[in-house]
Amino acid sequence: MRDSRRTRTLVVDENTAYRWRVRHRHGDGAPCAEVLTLHRDGVRTRIVFRAGAGRYAGDGGPGGHSGAVGDREHHLNLHEPGAVRALVDEALRRELLPYDGEVDGWDLLPGAALSRAAAATPEAPPGCPPGP
């Protein structure tokens, strides 16, 4: 079992590193959420995945494990550094980092999941969707 309070380091390049951690959050009457927190230069960005119709966050989805987020088409395990890197890259591409506050993770999921899938199949040409 992973320690959800453990903070890890993600090195993006020689000048950029993020401290990050994942936790499961329950709100007062609100749906469960998986929260990826990124720290860099005193700025704390929380990428939040709230469970809802057609979306799972944490132990409610397929595989039923902490850090699992997904919808009907995309899935990421937030405990995997490669998944965190894909989310960071997608947030940077959209100019959402650095941002001191919450970002809706569902907006980032499709791009990050496709990037992750493309990285898993390096022989595929750029821009080619994953799969057979």
pTM above 0.95, yes or no: no
pLDDT of residue 60: 58
Residue whose structure tokens are 């970002």: 103
What percent of the chain shows pLDDT beyond 90?
A: 64
- CA–CA separation, 13 and 1 (whole Å): 30
Yes or no: say if 78 and 33 are a contact pair by the CB < 8 Å rule. Answer: no
Residues in CB range of 60: below 8 A, 6 or more apart:
32, 51
Residue 4 pLDDT > 60, yes or no? no
Q: Is 113 helix (H, G, I), strand (E, B) or coil?
A: helix
pLDDT of residue 1: 46
pLDDT of residue 112: 96
Residue 20 pLDDT > 70, yes or no? yes
Tens of pLDDT, residues 67-125: 999 999 999 999 999 999 999 999 999 999 999 999 999 999 999 999 888 777 766 66
Tokens encoding 116: 């992750």
Mean pLDDT is lowest, of 32-36, 60-64, 75-79, for: 60-64
